[in-house]
Structure 1
Amino acid sequence: MTREAIIGGTTENGTWEEEFVLELRLDDVTGKAIGDALAVVRSHCEDTGETPYVAFGDPQAYARSLEFRDDEREPNTLGAWARALWPVGAMIAGFAVTPAAVSSLASGVDMAIRLGAVLSVAWGLVFLAVAVKALRVLLQNRLLFVTFVTVVMAGLVGFNVLARQEIAHIPAGMGLGVGIVLLGVGVVAVLRQPDDLVTEPLTGGHMLDEDSRAARIVSQVVGAWPWFVVFWVMVLSVAAWLTASR
Structure 2
Amino acid sequence: MSTLKEWSSEHRDWVERFVLDLRSANVPEREIGEELADAHARCEQTGGLPEEVLGHPDDYAEVIGYPVHHAGAEQRGILSWVSPVAIQAIVALVGTYALRAWIEGTDLTLNLGTLICWLVMAIMISGLGALVAWSGRRVYSIWLLIVTYVVALGAGIAGALLSRTDLPVVAAGTPMPLAVTCAAIIVLIAVTSTVREVRGGFKGLDPVEIEEGVSASGERRARPVRKLVLVVFWVVPAYLALDAWLTVSAA
- Identify the TM-score tier after normalising by the shorter chain: 0.3 to 0.5
Which structure has more relative contact order (CA 8 Å, sep 6+)? It is 1
